[in-house]
Amino acid sequence: MLYTSTRDKSIRVSAAQAITQGISEEGGLFVPCEIPKFSEAQIRAMIDMDYISRAKTVLSAYLTDFSAEELDYCVNGAYGGNKFSSEKIAPVVRVNGNENVLELWHGPTCAFKDMALQLLPYLMMTSAKKVAGGKTIVILVATSGDTGKAALEGFKDVEHTRILVFYPDEGVSPMQKLQMTTQEGENVAVCAIKGNFDDAQSAVKSIFTDANVKAQLAEKNMMFSSANSINWGRLVPQIVYYFSAYCDLVQQGSIAFGDKINVVVPTGNFGNILAAYYAVQMGLPVGKLVCASNTNNVLTDFLTSGEYNKNRAFYATTSPSMDILISSNLERLLYHLSGEDDGLVRDLMARLSEDGCYRISSELRANIQKYFAAGFCGEEDVFATIRTHFEKYHYLCDTHTAVALKVYADYVKSTGDDIVSVIDSTASPYKFSASVLSALQDSTKDMSEFEMVDELHRVSGMDVPQPIEALQNKAVRFREVCSKDEMGEIVFKLLKI
Ligand SMILES: *Cc1c(COP(=O)(O)O)cnc(C)c1O
């Protein structure tokens, strides 16, 4: 299995190269030259497997340059032991009727990013041994909140790696900020930037491709890579849990093998829902992939009208991990669904960076709409959804999950398509205690972050995740704040290169 670039399909690299490099030289994203297909028998065989074996089955179809021993080592390291608080790793919980929630937040940082970022360091080190000749890998991350912590936790004290995380100073929740600024580990650093997530992401992208910076690193036997969802090594672990959820639904008797399900994903950078698209291409029986956005509804508009336009107001919402106006992984979908038209992708992405907008043909739009539906959820509805789900079904969800649940309800109402569905739950409610608590009761004022955690526990009876409990006693290690123009220098300063 080889990989090519969305902006130059003459490129051929191995999985190991794609993962160590992160992004292609000319700025395109790595995609598989051909998406592997599973037979019915291969999918059926996964029903009786645990999560680890399901992961090995899916990953081995993509990482063909990894030996079976290497894959065992990577997957057992990521999901074995007691790193996840649920034995099932990603359990499916039936909430009501055909509505099932796929809980992706039982990892060490209580958000779905752990699903991929516990595995990525293993994939990266195994890949680097094959193709990077012992270079130290420098990971730069731009985060809207959850990726940063999950990447820090995944890479901390991993040999031959350094990691530096940039987050928007005013754009993350207090809990997210505390999780990052208290991060332990000798090879880690964290810096706030004055700007929003898109500023951070654009600046990181330009540092990556800066020839001068690259040369300075090369002198020290170092190279950049990326832990953002533009890295193929981030996407491929996410394909696994769609197969896993399907198998669990069969096992639980919610569906018969072969039945189609709908999948609803609270979306930001389009990585999670794109992983579901790959699962569909591999043979997973899915009706519609429903893309759920918050008030930053650039994707809802795009998926309905065919026009992508980021020239609009940016809102800081209560679901900050979805406050994104440039969804990087959409580029991969455009490549696949345009019949692998790398010239078109190059043009569209040039328009996006020059004009901030582009329009696709009605043919391509129709092609996308075969697979995808879309909707968005405003702030009032986020609170109302948290409250009604708790009151009616005693199911407590976070703000991102609430966006997906509301968009799903709207989707069922407008289409009548109410087959068994999986709604991704992407964060523990305790990660966003202030918002979740204020949805449940009127007054939360004057409470500290941890008083709110306690209060939420008192009101809901739901266990507080151990990693959040443990945060209370940790010291803040990182207080740096910089402008986006200073990010290049900060890399060298903070990583002591
Ligand atoms: C990252 C994140 C999302 C968005 O996922 P994408 O893959 O970027 O679309 C949604 N919810 C939470 C809690 C997240 O951390």
CA 253 from chain center: how many Å?
29
User: Which CA distances in Å does 282 have to 57, 248, 285?
Assistant: 12, 18, 9
Measured from the Cα of 275, ligand 1's closest atom is: 7
Cα of 300 vs centre of ligand 1, distance in Å, is: 16
Catalytic positions, please? 113
In the DSSP assignment, the letter for residue 429 is G
- Bridge partners of 161? 137
Measured in Å, residue 272 CA sits from the centre of ligand 1 at 7
Alpha-helix residue ranges (DSSP H) falling in 416-477: 433-440, 449-460, 466-471
What span, in angstroms and rounded, lies between the C-alpha atoms of 273 and 110?
A: 19
What is the C-alpha separation between 460 and 436, in angstroms, rounded? 11
**Ligand 1 midpoint to CA 324 (Å):** 10
Q: How far apart are CA 482 and CA 205, in angstroms?
A: 17
Of the candidates 166, 196, 153, the one whose C-alpha atom is nearest the C-alpha of residue 491 is 166
Q: Please give the distance, rounded to the nearest whole angstrom, from the Cα atom of residue 130 to the centre of ligand 1.
A: 31
The separation between CA 292 and the C-alpha centre of its own chain, rounded to angstroms, equals: 14
| Residue 121, both tokens | 């360091």
Both tokens of residue 414?
A: 């407008």
Nearest alpha carbon to residue 121 among 3, 213, 237:
237
**Closest ligand 1 atom, residue 427 Cα:** 13
Alpha-carbon span 337 to 467, nearest angstrom: 41
Smallest CA separation from ligand 1 atom 2, residue: 321
Q: Is the CB of 317 under 6 A from ligand 1?
A: no
Integer Cα distance of 30 and 15 in angstroms = 9
Position in ligand 1 atom list of the atom nearest CA 426: 13
H/E run at residue 259: none
**Closest alpha carbon to 307 in 360, 343, 346:** 360
Q: Indicate the top mutation candidate among 29, 105, 117, 267 to test ligand 1's pocket, ranked by most ligand atoms within 8 A of CB.
A: 267
Please choose, from the candidates 357, 132, 296, 324, the residue with its C-alpha nearest in 3D space to the C-alpha of residue 228: 324
Nearest to 121 by CA among 107, 139, 105, 143: 139
Ligand 1, atom 14, residue with closest C-alpha: 321
List, in order, residues 6 or more apart from 158 with CB less than 8 Å away: 121, 125, 187
User: 269: Cβ below 6 Å to ligand 1?
Assistant: yes
Ligand 1 contacts CB of residue 267 (under 6 A): yes
Domains by residue range for the chain, with CATH: 92-111+233-432 (3.40.50.1100)
pLDDT at position 28 is 96
Rounded distance between C-alpha atoms, residue 109 and residue 107, angstroms: 6
Q: Residue 322 has which token pair? A: 């979805």
Q: Is 148 in the pocket of ligand 1 (CB under 6 A)?
A: no
188 DSSP β-pair partners: 163
What pLDDT does residue 127 have?
Answer: 94
Asked if 419 and 287 touch (Cβ cutoff 8 Å), the reply is yes
Give the ligand 1 atom nearest the CA of 270: 9
40 C-alpha vs ligand 1 centroid, how far in Å? 30
The residue to mutate among 179, 321, 433, having the most atoms of ligand 1 within 8 angstroms of its beta carbon, is 321
**Strand ranges (E), 169-300:** 188-194, 222-226, 261-266, 286-293
E-only strand ranges, 147-279: 161-168, 188-194, 222-226, 261-266
Centre of ligand 1 to C-alpha 183, Å, is 21
Q: Is 271's C-beta closer than 6 angstroms to any atom of ligand 1?
A: yes
Question: Which residue ranges of the chain lie beneath pLDDT 50?
Answer: none
Model-level pTM?
A: 0.94
